[in-house]
A and B are shown apart, each in its own frame.
Chain A
């Protein structure tokens, strides 16, 4: 198995007050002072709670079943639906990835909410999401550089639960990774534990492209990442 594993500390990541505020829906100029203050406090307290682990496994020669928008990798067959299929159907290898921010951040969030501090509990929840995505950005970048050396490109990352790919396919996805990979397990309803974890696939190949913004392809209009990516794009363009 070609497996790469990584662990990060908070300081390795590029997480800013702005990242959390954008994920909550604000633009950088209209963050209420109290929210700004809470974000700063959460980042300060949350730094030491990060237990970030992640990695990927590269699997060569995936099979693409065009008529059903399916991907077959080893023993697993995925219904990845049209949107994802069309983005990565030319991939000659697949990286199956998973990454977690660890159990401490969601535990802290839950504790605060149970104690009645819903605002800080919510900010910790968003912090966990941003941390795990930022860590996965680093892993994806490492993969990208490695593949450039080999003369191939990588795609965006695609996860069960988005673009029509059912969450129930998490079980098949994790069957391609070593058991308890990075400490991540699945509940019966395919919820990852720790809850602040991500998983999915990245296409690899000479004819594969990375798209700057893919959220408009997905049908989840209220998604946190859609808001985040759209705001980032808007800010870049202004």
Chain B
């Protein structure tokens, strides 16, 4: 792999945002994701190669470590920040259509529930995997999901809940979405959820961690 892309990938995995960021200490004073992405573009490397050969693999590696219990939420958030720093250089290529996202993922914490850290982590990981994420925030009512699906008809939907009481609201949202859009794919997640609950409410996929959601999305994006 190109040396620049390899370095960029490592910076994203390690959460090295830019030259001035002091962390991780082993990379102090070195260029970070911000500078390396610009250098890669200036060197004529295609935005698609930067995204698929450096950025996505970097996020993917930290996601795998997280799934395996070898990295924790802070490292995921740090890596996502480096990813964001790199991504800002690619934004114009997405806008012009030169670079394509894998799809649109509409995500929200279900109504009645205000927890958002897990949901944010999923949003950042999925965005880092090359998807456009429409984050509807917390306490999201069914109507808001339906309106957003209308705007992005090919989207995949993600629902998050942290309470046993709001898991019931998740079921309401799934049923109403499926009633109007029977083929709409819905992913669910949150600490009290399980695969059984996902099946019971008629959702399509449950993942206990963001990386599992990415793996599922990548399968259906093909």
A residues apposed to B, CB below 8 Å: 24-26, 32-35, 37-38, 113, 118-119, 121-123, 125, 161, 166-168, 187-191, 195, 220, 222-223
B24 contacts A119, CB within 8 Å? no
A189 contacts B169, CB within 8 Å? yes
Q: Which residues of A contact B77 (CB under 8 A)?
A: 118-119, 122
Q: Bound complex: CA of A113 vs CA of B192, how far in Å?
A: 23
Contact with A along B9-42 (1 / 0, CB 8 A): 0000001000000011100000000000000000
Q: Which residues of B contact A188 (CB under 8 A)?
A: 112
Q: Which residues of B contact A38 (CB under 8 A)?
A: 74
Q: Which residues of B contact A35 (CB under 8 A)?
A: 74-75
Known pairs A118-B120, A167-B164, A191-B114; A25 contacts B25 (CB<8 A):
no
Residue of A with least CB distance to B69: A25
Residue of A with least CB distance to B167: A167
Known pairs A118-B81, A119-B77, A223-B191; A190 contacts B117 (CB<8 A):
no
Contact with A along B71-84 (1 / 0, CB 8 A): 01111011011000
Any chain A CB within 8 A of the CB of B116? yes
User: Closest Cβ of chain B: how far from A23's Cβ, in Å?
Assistant: 10
A191 contacts B113, CB within 8 Å? yes
Within 56-94 of B, Cβ neighbours of A (below 8 Å) are at 69, 72-75, 77-78, 80-81
Q: Bound complex: CA of A37 vs CA of B21, how far in Å?
A: 13
B residues apposed to A, CB below 8 Å: 15, 23-25, 69, 72-75, 77-78, 80-81, 112-114, 116-117, 120, 124, 163-166, 169, 191-192, 208
Q: List 8 A-B contacts (CB under 8 A).
A: A33-B25, A34-B15, A35-B75, A118-B120, A119-B74, A122-B74, A189-B166, A190-B163
A166 contacts B24, CB within 8 Å? no
Known pairs A125-B117, A220-B192; A119 contacts B81 (CB<8 A):
yes
Residue of B with least CB distance to A121: B117
Among candidates B69, B113, B192, residue contacting A189 with C-beta atoms closer than 8 Å: B113
User: Closest Cβ of chain A: how far from B77's Cβ, in Å?
Assistant: 4
User: Closest Cβ of chain B: how far from A167's Cβ, in Å?
Assistant: 5
User: Closest Cβ of chain A: how far from B70's Cβ, in Å?
Assistant: 10
B208 contacts A33, CB within 8 Å? no
Known pairs A118-B77, A119-B78; A34 contacts B24 (CB<8 A):
yes
Q: Bound complex: CA of A220 vs CA of B192, how far in Å?
A: 7
How many contacts between A and B, using CB within 8 angstroms?
76
Q: Which residues of B contact A26 (CB under 8 A)?
A: 72
Q: Bound complex: CA of A187 vs CA of B166, how far in Å?
A: 11
Residue of A with least CB distance to B164: A167
**What 6 A-B pairs are tightest by C-beta distance, nearest first?**
A189-B112, A34-B23, A25-B72, A119-B77, A189-B165, A35-B74
Known pairs A118-B77, A119-B81; A220 contacts B116 (CB<8 A):
no
B74 contacts A123, CB within 8 Å? yes
Known pairs A166-B164, A168-B164, A223-B191; A33 contacts B116 (CB<8 A):
no
Interface centre among A24, A25, A166 (most CB of B within 10 A): A25
A122 contacts B165, CB within 8 Å? no
A122 contacts B69, CB within 8 Å? no
Q: Bound complex: CA of A24 vs CA of B78, how far in Å?
A: 14
Q: Bound complex: CA of A189 vs CA of B166, how far in Å?
A: 6
Residue of A with least CB distance to B193: A222
A167 contacts B163, CB within 8 Å? yes
Q: Bound complex: CA of A217 vs CA of B79, how far in Å?
A: 35
Q: Which residues of A contact B165 (CB under 8 A)?
A: 166-168, 189-191
Q: Bound complex: CA of A118 vs CA of B23, how far in Å?
A: 16
B73 contacts A25, CB within 8 Å? yes
B73 contacts A33, CB within 8 Å? no
Q: Which residues of A contact B124 (CB under 8 A)?
A: 118
Q: Which residues of B contact A190 (CB under 8 A)?
A: 163, 165
Known pairs A190-B163, A191-B113; A113 contacts B191 (CB<8 A):
no
Q: Bound complex: CA of A190 vs CA of B208, how far in Å?
A: 24
Residue of A with least CB distance to B137: A114
Interface centre among A25, A32, A118, A188 (most CB of B within 10 A): A118
